[in-house]
Amino acid sequence: MVGIRDVARRANVSPAAVSRVLNEDKTISIAPETRKRILAAAEALDYNINRRKYTKKRMPSIGVISTISKASEEQDIYYRELRVGLEEEARRLHLGMNRIYNLSDNPKQWTDLDQLGAIIVVGTITNDSITQLLKQNKNLIVVDNPDIQQEVDMVYGDLERMTTSVLTLLLENDHRDIAYIGGYRVDLDEFGGKIVTQFEKRMRAYLHFMQDNQLEEFIDYRLGLWTEQDGERLTEELLKERQDHLPTAILVGSDPMAVGVYSALNKENIVIGKEIQIISFDNLEVAEKLKPGLTSIQINAKSIGKAAVRMALERIDNLREEYIIMTYPTKLVIRDSFNPDRK
């Protein structure tokens, strides 16, 4: 039976290029002549390039294992957008995505994972759980967990690098006394059990930056839940303890927490953007509506989800043997909570 690799050899291109052209992947950048050569090779080999017939015959389902509960996912726009990206790309490639596990809902066990074409894991789960998953299915894609040690495909937003870049920008604008308010890292095992640690990606980058720039005396971090309520509570604690020597800037781990930070600062009549400058993560709709507007780091969750599905398809079609790590860039959207001209 003629396969993708046969077409690839005849067209003198990679199997991945053949798969993406035949599946009409709009994101691929390929020369018109190369595209014609691939289609001609498929036709010459009598390879079935009718997308619907081809995919319905060959494409198995993808399973999704998420550390986020269904309720939390509905309230968190980042994970909501990531799920949209997963589903949209699966539909476009005619892949089933009906097996979805939410670890926060305390599943009893994972069964029949070896029957799936691939598994996409969203969020931070333990290394032991990854090992157990690999015993059932080698086609594993891990999303938003760059700390995994096993050899698996990974895709995530480059939050540590962006955290360092933002802190560098603050330092260049004369900020040395920079506080951090964020959330704990929560790793889940296959039964929904939680392992809570403080060294989440943004927090870790903050500590490294302050130490690398000899700013240890200014290190001040507060951690809690990733909620508006805890953002407000942690800021109130910081203001109470440091009323005589406030930080000049606060880096906040998420926009929902930043809403709480705003509330606490406003209660004390502290002028945001002048007395204390704030930069956050997510660039949610609320960031623009806050007064003053919240400077925030934008992460394209939908694109990350789509990339994970494409990586899964490459595994299903055996288009590559090597593992790949894909990082998506982030973008700083500057608003009035941060004044880069401060001197």
Q: Residue 137: left (phi > 0), alpha (psi -120 to 50), or beta?
A: beta
pLDDT, position 16 = 85
Helix, strand, or coil (residue 65) = strand
In a domain, 322, yes or no: yes
Cis peptide, bond prior to residue 292, ω within 30 of zero: yes
In a domain, 335, yes or no: no
In a domain, 341, yes or no: no
pLDDT, position 54 = 43
**Residue 176, token pair as written in the block:** 């040395």
CATH of the domain at 95: 3.40.50.2300
**205: how many CB neighbours lie within 10 A of its CB?**
21
The tally of domains found in the chain comes to: 3
Helix, strand, or coil (residue 70) = helix
Range of the domain at 193: 159-299
Q: Which of the 8 DSSP states describes residue 192?
A: S
Mutual orientation of helices 159-172 and 201-212 as an angle, nearest 10°?
40
**82 and 194 fall within a common domain:** no
**245 and 204 fall within a common domain:** yes
**241 and 285 fall within a common domain:** yes
**67 and 97 fall within a common domain:** yes
pLDDT, position 132 = 85
**218 and 254 fall within a common domain:** yes
User: Can you give 135-160 as a three-state secondary structure string?
Assistant: HHCCCEEEECCCCCCCCCEEEEECHH
**164 and 282 fall within a common domain:** yes
Asked whether 101 and 321 are in contact (CB, 8 A), the reply is no
**Phi, then psi, of 328 in degrees rounded to 5:** -100, 135
User: In sequence order, what DSSP letters do the residues of 265-280 get, joined into one string?
Assistant: HHHTT--BTTTBEEEE
**47 and 62 fall within a common domain:** no
**37 and 73 fall within a common domain:** no
In a domain, 282, yes or no: yes
Asked whether 319 and 19 are in contact (CB, 8 A), the reply is yes
**Residue 329, token pair as written in the block:** 């860039």
In 3D space, the residue among 9, 62, 67 whose CA is nearest the CA of residue 38 turns out to be: 9
**Residue 83, token pair as written in the block:** 């799920």
Asked whether 257 and 278 are in contact (CB, 8 A), the reply is no
pLDDT, position 52 = 39
In a domain, 339, yes or no: no
**227 and 178 fall within a common domain:** yes
Helix, strand, or coil (residue 30) = coil
Q: Which of the 8 DSSP states describes residue 125?
A: B
Q: Which of 39, 56, 73 is the last residue of a domain?
A: 56
> What's the average pLDDT block by block, 10 residues per block, for the chain (343 residues)?
82 87 79 89 77 46 85 76 93 87 66 86 87 90 87 91 96 96 82 78 96 97 94 97 95 96 97 96 91 94 95 91 90 92 57
Report d(CA 308, CA 154) in Å as an integer: 8
**170 and 258 fall within a common domain:** yes
Name residues whose C-beta falls within 8 Å of residue 342's C-beta, 6 or more positions apart in sequence.
Answer: 173, 174, 175, 277
Asked whether 265 and 237 are in contact (CB, 8 A), the reply is no
Report d(CA 146, CA 326) in Å as an integer: 10
In a domain, 249, yes or no: yes
**Residue 270, token pair as written in the block:** 């502290």
